[in-house]
Amino acid sequence: MVAEVKTKEEILQEKTYRERRFEDYRIDKMQREYDEAWRMSRWDKKSECYVNHKGDLVVDSSKVVHNDVLAVISLSGEYYSKIEADKD
């Protein structure tokens, strides 16, 4: 069985309203974490960027490529089929 390989454009065209809103939520969350790190002056000299309270790197949302975030969010059907498989 050969897995079907899709281009990034094909993946983005399959995304539903729900997945696009989920992408907006993730980017908003990233921005909030960045703002908090900036306010608290959590600058990591080694990585040359801000870090959140857990020590994870954070970035300003203006530097995020929205389509790249959207491309890694699983489709609703894939998500729910994985949940059903885990129940079995």
Q: Which domain does 78 fall in, by range?
A: 8-87
Q: Among 11, 21, 1, which Cα is nearest to 78's?
A: 11
Distance of CA 36 to the CA centre of its chain: 18
Is residue 64 a part of any domain in this protein? Answer: yes
Tokens 């993946």 belong to which residue?
11
Tokens 């899709």 belong to which residue?
6
- Structurally, the chain folds into a number of domains equal to 1
The predicted-structure confidence for 30-82, as pLDDT tens digits, reads as follows 899 999 999 999 999 998 889 988 988 888 878 877 677 667 666 656 655 66
pLDDT of residue 42: 92
Q: Collapsing DSSP states into helix, strand and coil, what is residue 51?
A: strand
| CB 42 within 8 Å of CB 34 | no
d(Cα 40, Cα 51) in Å, to the nearest integer? Answer: 10
| CB 15 within 8 Å of CB 75 | yes
d(Cα 71, Cα 64) in Å, to the nearest integer? Answer: 13
Is residue 1 a part of any domain in this protein? Answer: no
Tokens 């454009």 belong to which residue?
9
Which pTM value belongs to this model? 0.61
pLDDT of residue 10: 74
